[in-house]
Amino acid sequence: MPAPATGPAPTPVNPRSRVLVASLIGTTIEFYDFYIYATAAVLVFPQLFFPSSDPTTALLSSFAVFGAAMVARPVGAVVFGHLGDRLGRKKTLVVSLLTMGIATFLIGVLPTYAQAGWVATALLVLMRLAQGFALGGEWSGAALVATENAPSGKRALYGTFPQLGAPLGFIIGNGLFLGMGALLPSAAGADPSQPSEAFLSWGWRVPFLFSAVMVAIGLWVRSRLVESAVFARTRESGGVRRLPLATVVRSHGKQLVLGTFIMLATYVLFYLMTTFSLSYGRAAKDAAVPGLGYGYSTFVLMMIFGVLFFAAFTLVSGPLADRYGRRMTLISVTAAIVVFGLVWVPLIELGTLGVVLWLVLGFTLMGMTFGPMGALLPELFPTSVRYTGSGISYNVSSILGAAVAPFIAVALWETGDGSPWLVGVYLSAMAVLTLIALLLGKETKDVSLDDQEAVAGDPARAPAGSPAP
């Protein structure tokens, strides 16, 4: 009796729930790490790692280390992008998450300046650089896991799940700091804006140490993934590039530039609504550079209320971008960001209600602009260089829109004698640059992620099984 005919084994498929959780967990940890560092940079790091007779100098030094991670992120994007485009998404995501988790945990056990002098500061810088390096490969890998496994017509919706990590990370990170402030109150009450000795000694370390729990969960989820079918088909067809970086720079330079500037307004808005607003909201009204004068706990609770809108509208943006297109959705939202930057002062001058409205509007726009990026940036590049291309665009934009934003915002805040109107103008100007990039770009909603470039005559394309140069 003849043996039955057999065909190629079907490509394993990731369950959709596993895809969504795996793409969400890593970015939640990413933004959790950002928020706990940003919060510590405002509350305790100036005292513990950057002693100075001038509080503003100490704060700016703390922000400088924050910015150092942004400089390391494009390096991580190149390294992890190369690995992701050569070896696959799954392995690369596991390595990036593990690197990030170790660096964050080690920050929680560092000695302070009083214990080790400038060695402590140097170690903090080193750990922050390691965080940035790992984060350079985290977002693009998570976005690719979501979009390359998405069903037809729902790529933008699936792409919003990595983006949900931002509001979730904010709530978890700041919730832990609020909790530690309540458990270890100073004489002024449960407010870590005036930290107790116990909070300065060990309380601030708890959120950093807790990241180990989150990383362990993330590693378990990601270890159960299989490689995306899109990448598997590229590898089987001989479409893997020897040098993804060289290819993306040579053949997709326009997409790199457009992707970087399309992301610019999102980054500037994100860091102004989180890092800058926390400093501005806490600054006393009678300070040399006056602020809003709220206590830390009060203002963070106001921010958390705004972040709920961030989460909700991140999800709302996905179906809108799937229906109307990424480009038209983002053009409308970016135009609204331009207007929002120009009405900061009238809103804030309305008192507490106006400040809450300012936070709600800012975080709503943040959700609407951030959500579609999970699909748009990967769609700009073919599978063979998608990890590298989307990662470089996302992370170079972090330098232009995030690493310098705290410094520019503080300088403009001081120039405006405590009024943030120049900071709002800065946001509007960056949004105009993003608007120009969107107008110059093309719609990507109907782009197939399986689209490949011709192999013939391209020395950068390595056939399956061929040795790398």
For the chain, domain boundaries: 16-229+246-440
Instruction: Name the fold adopted by 16-229+246-440.
Output: Growth Hormone; Chain: A; (1.20.1250)
* Tokens coding 77: 């994007």
- Per-residue model confidence (pLDDT) at position 82: 92
- Per-residue model confidence (pLDDT) at position 12: 56
- Per-residue model confidence (pLDDT) at position 246: 92
Mean pLDDT by 10 residues, the chain (469 residues): 49 70 84 81 80 64 72 90 89 87 92 88 88 87 88 92 91 87 70 71 90 87 79 82 90 94 94 85 81 87 94 96 96 98 90 94 97 94 92 90 80 81 93 97 88 41 36
Of 266, 268, 267, 274, nearest in space to 326 by CA:
266
- Per-residue model confidence (pLDDT) at position 163: 92
Instruction: Please give the biggest Cα pair distance in the chain.
Output: 94
**CA–CA distance from 410 to each of 40, 214, 265, 404, 417 (Å)?**
17, 33, 18, 10, 11
Backbone angles phi, psi at 14, to 5 degrees: -75, 135
| Torsion over CA: 69, 70, 72, 73 (sign) | positive
Is-contact 47 202, C-beta < 8 A?
no
Distance, in Å, from the CA atom of 278 to the CA atom of 58, rounded to the nearest integer, reads: 16
* Tokens coding 339: 């207007």
- Per-residue model confidence (pLDDT) at position 455: 33
Distance, in Å, from the CA atom of 318 to the CA atom of 158, rounded to the nearest integer, reads: 7
Distance, in Å, from the CA atom of 155 to the CA atom of 138, rounded to the nearest integer, reads: 19
| Torsion over CA: 99, 100, 105, 106 (sign) | positive
